[in-house]
């Protein structure tokens, strides 16, 4: 396990995107790092892998930009490089929802950390006695690899379908504490804001997504593995590559 895999995102207002793209390519291309960096006016999203020295040197460089100083990174290890190439792309959104009014950099829904969520799930209710419902924001093929037990899954094929699914199924959420979740936090952050703006009350986002939950709480209340968008295909609750690894869609 000599390859360090990192996943990170930050919603922060970015300008000068073409220049930032060039700077990132100039810094990354001479290194052994492979993976994908997405840039948009709303922020940055990255999945990268290499030896630990290369990754940590890159992160130290990136965090010299004040916009990324507070970038939080989730780490896991693999025996082989899970990416075949390096891409730095400009996008309209770092995660497509097609709702430009949703701006996480201007404010986000309340967070629930992994330990608190596990306690709620152990008890079957939150601290105020409301039933807790886990709400999938991922695509159906990701859910089929693994998910929280009894989570609501609206079987969406892409995240841009989530807003309509809320409209169609909002009645399922009434009277409950809703915890939106995803792989690393980026989709469930937008989803939680949309839920609030749609009038759903008692909404939380799982801080750091499934990967952070695995890191702190392991397998508790989760069946299967967590799908990832690289050649590992999935990671288990110890953040080890899936024994059923195969090329992931879009890897």
pLDDT at 21 over 90: yes
CATH 3.30.70.100 domain position(s) in the chain:
3-90
Least Cα distance to 160 among 116, 190, 200 occurs for: 190
Task: Give residue 247's pLDDT.
Answer: 45
pLDDT at 246 over 80: no
Task: Give residue 166's pLDDT.
Answer: 97
CATH 3.40.250.10 domain position(s) in the chain:
104-235
Residues in contact with 117: Cβ distance below 8 Å, sequence separation at least 6, in sequence order: 132, 179, 206, 213, 217
Spot the catalytic one: 123, 182, 217, 226.
182
Residue-wise pLDDT tens digits, 115-156: 999 999 999 999 999 999 999 999 999 999 999 999 999 999
Residue ranges in the chain assigned as alpha helix (H): 17-28, 52-62, 114-123, 140-143, 162-169, 186-197, 209-217
- The proportion of the chain whose per-residue pLDDT surpasses 90, expressed as a percent, equals 91
Task: Give residue 30's pLDDT.
Answer: 97
Least Cα distance to 39 among 18, 67, 62, 69 occurs for: 18
Over range 158-173, report the average pLDDT. Answer: 96
Dihedral, CA of residue 71, residue 77, residue 78 and residue 84, to nearest 10? 10
Over range 200-228, report the average pLDDT. Answer: 97
Task: Give residue 1's pLDDT.
Answer: 79
CATH for 3-90 is 3.30.70.100
Residue 244's pLDDT band (cuts 50, 70, 90): low
Average pLDDT value for the chain: 94
**123 catalytic, yes or no?**
no
Residue 156 tokens, joined: 């969406």
User: Percent helix, strand and coil across the chain, each rounded to 5?
Assistant: 30, 25, 45
Taking a C-beta distance cutoff of 8 angstroms, is the pair 131, 125 a contact?
A: yes
Over range 36-45, report the average pLDDT. Answer: 97
Q: Are strands 226-227 and 234-235 parallel, antiparallel or unpaired?
A: antiparallel
Residue-wise pLDDT tens digits, 170-189: 999 999 999 999 999 999 99
> Domain 104-235 is in which class?
alpha beta
Buried/exposed 116-147: b ≥16 CB within 10 Å, e otherwise = bbbebbeeeebeeeeebbbbbbbbeebbebbb
Residues in contact with 6: Cβ distance below 8 Å, sequence separation at least 6, in sequence order: 46, 47, 48, 49, 55, 59, 73, 74, 75
How far lies 6's CA from each of 52, 137, 144, 202, in Å? Answer: 10, 21, 23, 31
Taken in order 33, 234, 12, 87, is the CA torsion positive or negative?
positive
Residue 250's pLDDT band (cuts 50, 70, 90): very low
Residue 198 tokens, joined: 């749609």
Over range 25-34, report the average pLDDT. Answer: 98
pTM of the entire predicted model: 0.89
3-state secondary structure of 220: coil
């Amino acid at each position: 396990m000599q390859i360090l895999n990192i996943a990170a995102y930050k919603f922060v207002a970015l300008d000068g995107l073409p220049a930032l793209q060039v700077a990132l390519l100039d810094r990354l291309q001479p290194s052994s790092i492979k993976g994908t960096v997405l840039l948009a006016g709303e922020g940055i999203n990255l999945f990268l892998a290499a030896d630990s020295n290369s990754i940590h040197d890159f992160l130290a460089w990136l965090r010299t930009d004040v916009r990324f100083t507070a970038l939080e990174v989730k780490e896991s290890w693999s025996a082989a490089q899970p990416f075949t190439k390096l891409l730095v792309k400009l996008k309209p959104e770092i995660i497509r929802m097609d709702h430009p009014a949703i701006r996480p950099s201007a404010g986000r829904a309340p967070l629930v950390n992994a330990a608190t969520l596990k306690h709620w799930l152990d008890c079957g209710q939150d601290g105020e006695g409301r039933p807790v419902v886990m709400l999938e924001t991922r695509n159906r093929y990701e859910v089929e690899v693994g998910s929280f037990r009894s989570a609501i899954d609206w079987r969406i094929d892409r995240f841009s379908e989530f807003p309509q699914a809320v409209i169609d199924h909002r009645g399922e959420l009434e009277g409950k504490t809703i915890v939106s979740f995803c792989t690393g936090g980026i989709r469930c952050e937008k989803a939680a804001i949309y839920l609030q703006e749609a009038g759903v009350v008692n909404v939380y986002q799982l801080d750091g997504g499934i990967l952070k939950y695995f890191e702190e709480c392991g397998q508790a209340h989760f069946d299967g593995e967590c799908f990832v968008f690289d050649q590992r295909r999935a990671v288990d609750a110890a953040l080890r590559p899936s024994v059923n690894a195969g090329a992931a869609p879009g890897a």
